[in-house]
């Protein structure tokens, strides 16, 4: 079938065909930003594309050692609603059975009651929610976190949150992160909280650079997830910053 698997590097695809998260990953890849490789499985008949999915998955497994299985619904990571933490995500998938089970869980998660409740609160008809699934190379992060390219309180600061290990510690609220407030125009650290030794100056400077690029290219403030592996920063997703 057509377009059952779309790699992030394939240009010219529209947002509706792959969902918000995958579309934003593709945009970042097209900007030349450091994004772990991956592809999206569209909402076409999944049963007819298993062989192709497994073939492409093996390419990622050989390079990264494991993959993440992530949602990319048509309503996700939009200006209206982020759907952050609403759908199913599975990390560190290393074999065929885990992969197929995780893909099914992700597709099926649109039918969960909390998805319907969240959709209604955001003024979205639950019946219009369609799921696509991302298979992405897994970063062995020793540091990770989020960037808010603009301060929601209205200051001229970029906010960086960071913790040791993978980003679920921060975005999932499992660990209090280090927090850096950085002047967007001078690059000066205005304030830091908790353990301010997690990031060095070079890492902060690189994150600021990516934050500025994304806000400029996307045309509005962004909420960005990142991870650092062996000294290299990777961008895992970006979405419009919502308050």
User: CA 82, CA 96: separation in Å to the nearest integer?
Assistant: 30
User: CA 111, CA 107: separation in Å to the nearest integer?
Assistant: 9
Has domain 143-240 been given CATH number 3.30.470.20? yes
Superfamily the domain 5-137 falls into: ATP-grasp fold, A domain (3.30.1490.20)
Task: Give the pair of three-digit tokens for residue 39.
Answer: 């592809």
| pLDDT for the residue 1 | 41
Edge-to-edge strands, sheet with 143-148: 189-193, 178-183, 157-164, 143-148, 222-229, 232-240
User: CA 49, CA 42: separation in Å to the nearest integer?
Assistant: 10
| pLDDT for the residue 45 | 47
Find, among 233, 227, 229, 193, the residue nearest to 209 by Cα.
Answer: 233
Task: Give the pair of three-digit tokens for residue 238.
Answer: 């970006």
State how far Cα 21 lies from the chain centre: 6
Find, among 113, 106, 29, 112, the residue nearest to 71 by Cα.
Answer: 106
Q: Where are the domains of the chain?
A: 5-137, 143-240
Burial of 17 from C-beta contacts in 10 A (0-12 / 13-18 / 19+): middle
| pLDDT for the residue 61 | 97
Residues 19/122, Cβ–Cβ less than 8 Å: no
| pLDDT for the residue 78 | 64
pTM, entire model:
0.88
| pLDDT for the residue 174 | 59
Per-residue pLDDT of the chain (243 residues; tens, 9 = 90+): 455 788 998 866 667 678 889 999 999 999 999 999 999 998 664 656 788 899 999 999 999 999 999 999 887 766 666 777 778 899 999 999 999 999 999 999 888 888 888 888 888 888 888 899 999 999 999 999 999 999 888 778 999 999 988 755 555 555 678 899 999 988 888 887 755 678 999 999 999 999 999 999 999 999 999 999 989 999 999 998 876
Q: Write phi, then psi, for 167 (nearest 5 degrees).
A: -65, -15
Burial of 114 from C-beta contacts in 10 A (0-12 / 13-18 / 19+): exposed
């Amino acid at each position: 079938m057509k377009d059952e698997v779309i790699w992030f590097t394939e240009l010219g695809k529209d947002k509706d065909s792959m969902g918000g998260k995958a579309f934003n990953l593709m945009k970042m890849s097209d900007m030349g930003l450091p994004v772990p490789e991956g592809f999206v499985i569209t909402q076409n008949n999944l049963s007819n594309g298993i062989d192709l999915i497994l073939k492409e998955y093996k390419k990622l497994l050989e390079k990264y050692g494991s993959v993440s299985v992530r949602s990319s619904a048509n309503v996700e990571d939009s200006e209206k609603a982020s759907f952050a933490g609403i759908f199913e995500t599975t990390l560190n998938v290393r074999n065929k059975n885990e992969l197929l089970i995780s893909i099914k869980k992700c597709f099926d998660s649109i039918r969960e009651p909390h998805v319907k409740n969240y959709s209604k609160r955001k003024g979205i008809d639950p019946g219009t929610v369609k799921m696509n699934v991302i298979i992405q190379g897994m970063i062995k992060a020793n540091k990770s976190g989020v960037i808010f390219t603009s301060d929601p309180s209205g200051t001229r600061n970029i906010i960086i949150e960071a913790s040791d290990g993978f980003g679920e510690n921060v975005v999932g609220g499992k660990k209090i992160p280090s927090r850096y407030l950085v002047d967007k125009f001078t690059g000066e650290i205005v304030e830091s909280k908790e353990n301010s030794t997690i990031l060095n100056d070079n890492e902060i400077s690189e994150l600021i650079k990516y934050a500025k690029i994304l806000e400029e290219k996307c045309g509005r403030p962004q909420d960005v997830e990142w991870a650092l592996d062996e000294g290299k920063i990777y961008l895992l997703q970006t979405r419009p910053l919502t308050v």
